[in-house]
Amino acid sequence: MPALNPYLNFNGNTEEVFNFYKSVFGGEFATVMRFKDTPSEHPMPETEGNKIMHIALPIGKVNVLMGSDVPPSYPQATHGSDFYISISADSEEEAKKLFEGLSQGGNVVMPLSKAFWGALFAMFSDKFGIQWMVSYDYNRQQ
Give the H/E segment covering residue 95. Answer: helix 92-103
For residue 142, tell me if it sits in a domain. Answer: no
pLDDT of residue 95: 95
Does the pTM exceed 0.85? no
For residue 101, tell me if it sits in a domain. Answer: yes
Average pLDDT per consecutive 10 residues, the chain (142 residues; last block may be shorter): 87 93 92 88 79 93 91 82 89 94 94 94 90 91 54
For residue 125, tell me if it sits in a domain. Answer: yes
Note whether 113 and 122 are within 8 A (CB).
yes
* Domain count for the chain: 1
What's 45's DSSP letter? Answer: P
Q: How far apart are CA 109 and CA 86, in angstroms?
A: 14
Give the H/E segment covering residue 10. Answer: strand 3-10
CATH of the domain at 59: 3.10.180.10
For residue 120, tell me if it sits in a domain. Answer: yes
Structural domain span for residue 30: 3-137
